[in-house]
Amino acid sequence: MILVLEKGITQQKKSQLKSILAEQGCMVHEPGGSGQNILGVIGKNSLTREFLIAQEGVADVVPISTAYKLVSRQMKKEDTIIKIGNVEVGGNKITIIAGPCAIESREQAMIIAKEVKKYGATLFRGGAFKPRSSPYSFQGLEEEGLKILAEVREVTGLRVVTEITSPMHADLMMKYVDVIQIGARNMQNFELLKCAGRMGKPVVLKRGLASTIEEWLMSAEYIAAEGNTNIILCERGIRTFEPYTRNTLDLSAIPVLKQLTHLPVLIDPSHATGIREKVAPMSRAAIAAGADGLMIEVHHKPEEALSDGPQSLYPKQFGRLIRDIYVIAPVVGKQLIHDYTGYSAASPGSLSAESGKSREGKRVVYLGEQGTFSHKAAMQYFSSDVENYPVPSFRDIFENVKSDAAAFGIIPIENSLAGSIHENYDLLLEYELFITGELSLRVVHNLIAHQGVKIEDVKQILAPPPAFQQCRRFLDANPDMKIVPVNATGSAVKRISESGNMEDAAIGSVEAAELFCMTVLEEAIEDNPRNFTRFVVIEKQMAQEGIKNKSSIVFSTSNKPGSLFEVMKVFSENQINLVKLESRPIHGKPWQYMFYADLETDLTDSSASTDNVIKAIEQNTEFFKILGSYNCGNKRTE
């Protein structure tokens, strides 16, 4: 059951309460990040509600109706986010685990690890101990395989995942790997589950060959009951009578699990289908259904693989799939964790003394209040080790980064319906800051008001001007509603919450409505569901590491015929794809313009060809500046 504690309870009283419960034979769990002051209480004894409510500091007692307690959504309403180095599994990020079925040699592992990292994997998988149906099949390299996995981590920076098949291997796993996997055949090996719980490492728990969802969650409960709630559920298909695939992938398990448990959910389409050509479509479907990530088998020579070659993707196939996932993710409100320079720069492993700041000193600033789309973009892009902080204006974002009050800023640069945010283009020219990353966020606008308010009661709507532009049809259909501009959607929702005026409504996100205890009157009121905002990350220094496949520049040309054409000609002759061109007036020079351009290339690499491109641009411009080279995430890298 759950004990809801009184507001303002001291830590001393909470400790006393825990001691009383422990004396009664109870196991006490305090869910992290719940937003409430609660304790989960589990025990074999049957304490009465009257006994518990009588304890000092207890405000209410809520029973948990499911057999699985610690992993249930009743115990913890918020999604659990599991940290593995600088990677976070769960929440609004998508994690890609990739690698061969089995570690066959050092060379094989290194080749595949470098390939999958290049294309977007954030964790590396590979089996060292292989439970096989036949005793004559390849059983894995055992400890030698674990040593290779540890070397892969050292060389590539990818944290490693491997399967544990026996409690006797626990010490080896503790020594060499970051995440342990419990395979389908061992899902109900209860001694192994208890061992995994005591080890404390994150656990990928695969669903059994013919197990129900409740049986699966009860197995997770075994791990959690030992004190380890860092559990990632992995659906890998169940055995049915259908012969056309290896197993039957149960995608319906995703929404079911999202309702029943707070644990993150991965999909393993490789073992589910057993057929290389079926992996990509099932992966795309899994992300669309709400999965938190994928576990995919990749091999550079699958025809020579010692295990599961027919279901392993070639590296380039994997790269194409990742590109598709990058596009699909924002549609369902998630972001693919790629080799983002800004993300990795903000991650624990890359923060060093040379930066001049501790991890706690890292801050990203965004516009408005909590609950804005800018706030959501900051949370999706950055590690949770980076503090996000709101400021009242776009200029304040730039000033904070310039003065080192913040390491990063995140700004919207353009919207697919309303067009460019011109103020930020002008600020990029004004300040000596650089773009180091980007992400696209799907923007779903909702009409938000107080509980009990009906749509006909609304007299005025608060929102930033871009939101009004994106919801024009709804506003035209409700002409009696007065529009009141504010600087951000989160600010709008906060203002109507604090005012208490039942005739006021706001345009904003579901997250903002929940944050300020408001209700959604009308969902998805934007004109077009293809409503995406492109955000960019700004820093004081250019991006130094990671994949950089896009550059943003600003330039001006002489006022003579063909001058802009000469610059465009440089791009054409060097096979550089121009993906955006924007003109802005030059302040103080009427009818003269700056041109902002986005190019699919890295203008900061040290190659001779890039130097020649830059020289050619400079020869045909009066002013030229590189605003940044960074990873756009969706460019095909082949």
pLDDT in tens, 373-420: 999 999 888 877 889 999 999 999 999 999 999 999 999 999 998 889
> Is residue 466, in this structure, part of any structural domain at all?
yes
- Which candidate in 318, 373, 535, 571 is catalytic? 535
The dihedral region occupied by 543, where left means phi > 0, alpha psi between -120 and 50, and beta the remainder, is: beta
Calculate the alpha carbon distances from 505 to 359, 464, 501 in Å.
Answer: 39, 13, 9
Query: Is residue 594 located within the same domain as residue 507?
Result: no
Domain boundary among 62, 79, 108: 62
> Is residue 583, in this structure, part of any structural domain at all?
yes
Query: Is residue 458 located within the same domain as residue 392?
Result: no
Amino acid at 135: P
Amino acid at 25: G
Domain boundary among 336, 367, 390: 336
Q: How many domains does the chain have?
A: 5
The CATH number linked to 423 is 3.40.190.10
Q: Are strands 408-415 and 589-599 parallel, antiparallel or unpaired?
A: unpaired
> Distance between CA atoms of 450 and 454, rounded to whole angstroms?
9
Domain range for 57 is: 2-62
Query: Is residue 377 located within the same domain as residue 422?
Result: yes
> Is residue 76, in this structure, part of any structural domain at all?
no
Query: Is residue 458 located within the same domain as residue 430?
Result: no
> Distance between CA atoms of 245 and 222, rounded to whole angstroms?
31
Query: Is residue 264 located within the same domain as residue 157?
Result: yes
Question: Which residue in 421, 384, 425, 428 sits closest to 539, CA to CA?
Answer: 428
Query: Is residue 399 located within the same domain as residue 314?
Result: no
pLDDT in tens, 3-40: 888 888 888 888 888 888 888 888 887 765 445 577 88
Name the least confident of 35-39, 63-67, 561-565: 35-39
Query: Is residue 561 located within the same domain as residue 599?
Result: yes
Query: Is residue 98 located within the same domain as residue 14?
Result: no
Question: Which residue in 178, 176, 168, 233 sits closest to 200, CA to CA?
Answer: 178
SS3 of residue 249 by DSSP: coil
pLDDT in tens, 206-253: 999 999 999 999 999 999 988 899 999 999 999 999 999 999 999 999
Judge whether 448 and 519 are in contact, CB under 8 Å. Answer: yes
The CATH number linked to 626 is 3.30.70.260
> Distance between CA atoms of 115 and 299, rounded to whole angstroms?
9
What tokens were used for 78? 């918020």
Query: Is residue 321 located within the same domain as residue 359?
Result: no
- pLDDT of 193 > 60? The answer is yes
> Distance between CA atoms of 151 and 139, rounded to whole angstroms?
21
Query: Is residue 178 located within the same domain as residue 298?
Result: yes
> Is residue 68, in this structure, part of any structural domain at all?
no
Domain boundary among 336, 356, 375: 336
> Is residue 84, in this structure, part of any structural domain at all?
no
The dihedral built from the CA positions of residue 138, 144, 149 and 152, taken in this order, carries a sign that is: negative
> Is residue 75, in this structure, part of any structural domain at all?
no
Average pLDDT of the chain, as a whole number? 90
Query: Is residue 454 located within the same domain as residue 389?
Result: no
> Distance between CA atoms of 28 and 25, rounded to whole angstroms?
10
Is 535 labeled as catalytic in the residue annotation?
yes
> Is residue 77, in this structure, part of any structural domain at all?
no
Query: Is residue 438 located within the same domain as residue 362?
Result: yes
Question: Which residue in 378, 293, 306 sits closest to 337, CA to CA?
Answer: 293
For the CA atoms of the chain, what is the radius of gyration?
27
- Which candidate in 80, 273, 533, 557 is catalytic? 533
What tokens were used for 159? 């944290």
